[in-house]
Amino acid sequence: MEKKSNLWEMTLSQLDEVAEEINLDENIHQILRHPKRCLTVSIPVQMDSEKIEVFTGFRVQHNVTRGPAKGGIRYHPDVTLEKIKALAMLMTWKCAVVGIPYGGAKGGIICDPKKLSLKEIEKLTRRYVSEIISFIGPEKDIPAPDVNTNPQVMAWIMDTYSMDVGYSVSGVVTGKPISIGGSLGRDAAAARGVMFTLMNTAKKFKFDPFEKTIAIQGYGNVGENLAHLLSRQGYKIIAISDVAGGIYNPKGLNPVQVSLALKDSGSVIGYKDGQRITNQELLTMDCDILIPAAVENQITEKNAGEIKTKLIVEAANGPTTPKADQIIKERGISIIPDILANAGGVTVSYFEWVQGLQASFWTEREVNLKPRDIMQKAFDNVYRVSEKRKVTMRKAVYILAIERVAEATRIRGLYP
């Protein structure tokens, strides 16, 4: 039976498998297996009760060979150093596959933000930044929002960093509010990238996506924005879920009404025009396209044999475990991997960083359209590798990304 917390092992095994496939130089292989820097910090915070509680935070920079590190910060009880290391490595590959001049990083704090007041979250954020401040910066490492963090948290990070250096530094984070240098179009960027990937998949696999039924697991930033974008384009979404459960209607769901129900009741299950289902029922329902957009390890050895979809588009990071991946491959189900499918977010984060450095900001139309060409080029490159080597899209995306990082490592050499 697969362990639930094996994301780091999974990322290492994927790297090792591809290294063997492409005959990667063993010295470079060893460099890529080890994160450049893993920082663990204690974060003492005076709570509203005046009691001091000490939290633990992490920041991992996996690789900076192709540019400064880039990656989100999450606040969650399940944060671990190994999970953060894995997500940092995945960010390295994601940036490489879409050709963005970044390396991979990730950060997190072990906490339950639902149990903290807004003031406590602000204190937690500012103290965390003060502990990692010498390791981040627009030329070093640029954080972004992730699970349970948002533009307000990014604003506190920017302000804390700026106060330390003595002037405003817009480029220290991305995903900021528009009023302090954020980018138009950033909020829905990851979802828009998934939509572009689905469109590219339909073109290459030669099917009409408008005739297909779609199920979306997860209704956070990516899942909710994706449901709205796809619905406006005319796609038929028959199932949606969040952490409390899901809803199903074979005639189609109205994401606008689903979002209103979420706002009113705290969950999508408050939507009345649909049948209640569990998350597992959504994952194994009969649909044409399944989009896991929640968290990692959702499609496992336990449920992979029951999945009935024809295509999985991974909007979440690491939603499919290695053993499940093999089962799905044997069953002839296609997977468009996370590193490719959800790269729209980091692409527009890159745009925000560039706009901040130049102090010149783009229109929302420019920001929304620019990723389309980048995502299409990345998809075409991955598809070409897949066809040439006769491998799955997942293996192809890793081959392309790892070859690019390995080449940069070889060209730069080893110092000293």
Q: Confidence band (pLDDT; 50, 70, 90) for 200? A: very high
pLDDT digits over 385-399, tens only? 999 999 999 999 999
Return the pLDDT at 296: 80
H/E segment holding residue 253: none
Instruction: Name the segment(s) of the chain with CATH classification 3.40.50.10860.
Output: 7-168
Q: Does residue 5 have a pLDDT over 80?
A: no
User: If you ran DSSP here, which 8-state letter would residue 183 be given?
Assistant: P
Separation CA 61–CA 274 (nearest Å):
44
Separation CA 58–CA 139 (nearest Å):
20
pTM for the full predicted model: 0.90
Listing DSSP states for 305-360 in one string gives: GG---SEEE--SSS-B-HHHHHHHHHTT-EEE-HHHHTTHHHHHHHHHHHHHHHT-
Q: Which tokens hold the place of 416?
A: 């000293």
Length of the chain: 416
Between 157 and 13, whose confidence is greater?
A: 157
Q: Does residue 373 have a pLDDT over 50?
A: yes
pLDDT digits over 209-225, tens only? 888 999 999 998 899 99
Return the pLDDT at 322: 85
Beta bridge partners of 143: 71
Q: Does residue 3 have a pLDDT over 50?
A: no
pLDDT digits over 45-68, tens only? 999 999 999 999 999 999 999 999
The rounded percent of the chain whose pLDDT value lies above 90 is 87
| Fold classification of 7-168 (topology level) | Rossmann fold (3.40.50)
Q: Confidence band (pLDDT; 50, 70, 90) for 1? A: very low
Q: Confidence band (pLDDT; 50, 70, 90) for 401? A: very high
Separation CA 24–CA 118 (nearest Å):
48
Which runs of consecutive H residues, i.e. helices, occur in 133-178? 151-165
Q: What is the mean pLDDT of residues 86-108?
A: 96
Q: Does residue 2 have a pLDDT over 60?
A: no
CA-closest candidate to residue 333, choices 301, 281, 288, 377: 288
Question: Please, are residues 115 and 68 in contact by the beta-carbon 8 Å criterion?
Answer: no
pLDDT digits over 306-336, tens only? 999 999 999 998 899 888 999 999 999 999 9
Return the pLDDT at 297: 82
pLDDT digits over 105-153, tens only? 999 999 999 999 999 999 999 999 999 999 999 999 999 999 899 999 9
Return the pLDDT at 221: 87
pLDDT digits over 269-310, tens only? 999 889 999 999 999 999 999 999 988 888 999 999 999 999
Q: Does residue 7 have a pLDDT over 90?
A: no
Amino acid type, 3 = K
Separation CA 66–CA 99 (nearest Å):
10
For residue 308, indicate whether it is catalytic: no
Which architecture characterizes domain 189-336 according to CATH?
3-Layer(aba) Sandwich (3.40)
Instruction: Name the segment(s) of the chain with CATH classification 3.40.50.720.
Output: 189-336
Question: Active-site residue among 70, 106, 236, 395?
Answer: 106
Separation CA 255–CA 148 (nearest Å):
22
Q: What is the mean pLDDT of residues 349-358?
A: 94
Q: Confidence band (pLDDT; 50, 70, 90) for 10? A: confident
Q: How far is CA 133 from the centre of its chain?
A: 23
b/e for 100-132, b at 16 or more Cβ within 10 A?
bebbbbbbbbbbebeebeeebbbbbbbbbbebb
Three-state DSSP at 143 gives: strand
Of 88-92, 186-190, 344-348, the poorest mean pLDDT is in 186-190
Beta bridge partners of 76: 110
Q: What is the mean pLDDT of residues 255-281?
A: 93
